[in-house]
Each structure stands twice: as C-alpha cells, then as structure tokens.
C-alpha cells in the first residue's frame, strides 16, 4: 500500500469518526421526550428526566377538546417527569387546564416526581405577545408545586423580541432544533441568539439527527443554559 493510499484511508477514517460523533446518540444525554406512539427503548434506562406526551388540545366541530394520549398513569422508574401537552389553539376553556392538572396529580399520586407541565405550541414570532399573555393566565391556574415549561422555535430569539421571551411566565424553555424527524438545516446559525436569554433554557435535539458539538458548547457559557433534551424516535423499519 502506497503512502498516498494510506493517507487517504486515514483521512476517510477520521472523517467517518467525525461524522459519527455529529449524530445525536441518546446514550450521551439524560433528558428525553417520549411522545405517544414511541416505544420506550433501553436507551432510556439511565434517563434522569423524561417529558411524557400526554395529550393534545384540538378544535373539533368548533369545540376545543383535550385528547388524552400517551402512557397510562403508572409508577415509572425515571427520577423526574414532565407532562407535555400539545396545544393547537390558545382559546382554551378553563375546564381543560383543570383536567390537565388533575392528570398531573394522578401521576404524582402514583409515586412519580412530576416537575410540571410543558406546553408545546408552535407560536409564530408575531404571536409571542399573545402567547405570553396566555402563559401568564395558565401560570395562575397551576398549583405552585408545579413548574411551567414551554417548547420554542429556533427563530424566536433571532427574529423575535428577546425582552418578551425573557418576560415569559415560565420556569423553562426548550428550544427545538429540529422539525419532524430531521434537524433544521444550519441550526447552528440560530444558537448565538440564545445567549441573550435570561430564563432557564435547554436545546432540543432529535435522535439520530445532526448536531454541531462545538456550536452547542458555546451555549454552556450562558448561566441560563440547562443542557439538552432528545426527542426519541421509533426504530426505522428495514
């Protein structure tokens, strides 16, 4: 084997290792989303925090309803859990948050440490003021023992009003770097804007998606950064 061939092989090997290191591997993280329809895998055995998808707020025939989804209430092995509910509207009657609170209390009674409620709502940047008002009302409805968290879009901090974000009545913001099952192209370009946040925040990644560890490492300079949350996927069918 010639020297040139050896160099090419070593280069290819190093590139392969670098690419492998840039894939989101669940075993390297401690917090996860477990969405309804996704089977809990062995990769969650060491999870410290799991966000359980427990339902969706939908509009059906002109009525706003809570569709219960996800795992049934039971005692889980995870040290702490959040209940995640997806909202498709902010026009929510009071009985729906009350029902969600009762669900959180049932999980708590079953022996779980329920941190709080995570709201998953894709608010456009121009909707942030209305969203902030909604969250303030929801915060008042939640018992003080429960935290309130939200998922967020990458462009909130880059194109939105950061002052509005920092004033959100939430205990945690998880900024999603993916859409569906795939990482947002050039998501790294949005990360510097997150350094202006003055509320606790995390970065949401998708399992087996792409990541840039160097860009993500810059977030650790912020005293408000709390690490990553991985959106788990079902294994691909072969």
Q: What is the Cα–Cα distance from 96 to 33, expressed in whole angstroms?
A: 22
Judged by DSSP in three states, 57 sits in strand
pLDDT score, position 7 = 44
Judged by DSSP in three states, 120 sits in strand
Residue 59 falls within a domain, yes or no? yes
The candidate with the shortest Cα–Cα distance to 205, out of 58, 29, 15, is: 29
Residue 54 falls within a domain, yes or no? yes
Residue 48 pLDDT greater than 80, yes or no: yes
Residue 238 falls within a domain, yes or no? no
Task: Determine the distance from the C-alpha atom of residue 207 to the mean position of all C-alpha atoms in its chain, rounded to a whole number.
Answer: 12
Residue 4 falls within a domain, yes or no? no
Residue 20 falls within a domain, yes or no? no
pLDDT score, position 237 = 59
pTM of the complete model: 0.89
Residue 132 falls within a domain, yes or no? yes
Domain of residue 91 covers 25-231
pLDDT score, position 77 = 95
Encoded tokens for 99: 């029902």
Which pLDDT tens digit goes with each residue over 151-200? Answer: 999 989 888 788 899 999 999 999 999 998 899 999 999 999 999 999 99
Compute the mean pLDDT over every residue in the chain, rounded to the nearest whole number.
90
- Total number of domains in the chain: 1
- What CATH number has the domain bearing residue 170? 3.20.20.80
Residue 86 falls within a domain, yes or no? yes
Q: Which are the contacts of 99, defined by CB distance < 8 A and separation ≥ 6?
A: 66
Which pLDDT tens digit goes with each residue over 64-101? Answer: 999 999 999 999 999 999 999 999 999 999 999 999 99
Q: What is the Cα–Cα distance from 39 to 235, expressed in whole angstroms?
A: 9
Residue 237 falls within a domain, yes or no? no
Helix%, strand%, coil% for the chain, nearest 5? 35, 30, 35
pLDDT score, position 125 = 86
Out of 99-108, 156-165, 224-233, least confident range: 156-165
């Amino acid at each position: 084997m010639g020297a040139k061939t050896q160099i090419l092989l070593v280069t290819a090997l190093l590139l392969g290792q670098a690419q492998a290191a840039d894939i989101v591997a669940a075993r390297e993280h401690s917090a996860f989303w477990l969405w309804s329809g996704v089977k809990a895998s062995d990769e969650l055995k060491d999870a410290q925090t799991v966000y359980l998808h427990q339902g969706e707020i939908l509009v059906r025939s002109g009525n706003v309803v809570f569709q219960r989804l996800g795992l049934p209430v039971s005692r889980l092995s995870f040290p702490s859990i959040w209940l995640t509910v997806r909202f498709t509207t902010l026009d929510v009657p009071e009985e729906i948050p009350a029902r969600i609170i009762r669900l959180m209390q049932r999980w708590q009674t079953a022996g779980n440490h329920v941190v709080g409620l995570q709201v998953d709502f894709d608010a456009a940047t121009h909707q942030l003021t209305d969203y902030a008002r909604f969250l303030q009302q929801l915060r008042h409805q939640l018992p003080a023992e429960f935290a309130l968290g939200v998922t967020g879009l990458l462009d909130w901090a880059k194109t939105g009003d950061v002052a509005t974000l920092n004033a959100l009545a939430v205990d945690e913001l998880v900024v999603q770097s993916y859409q569906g099952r795939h990482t947002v192209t050039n998501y790294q370009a949005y990360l510097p804007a997150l350094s202006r946040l003055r509320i606790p925040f995390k970065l949401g990644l998708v399992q087996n998606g792409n990541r840039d560890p160097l860009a993500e490492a810059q977030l650790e300079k912020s005293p408000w950064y709390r690490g990553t949350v991985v959106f788990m996927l079902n294994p691909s069918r072969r």
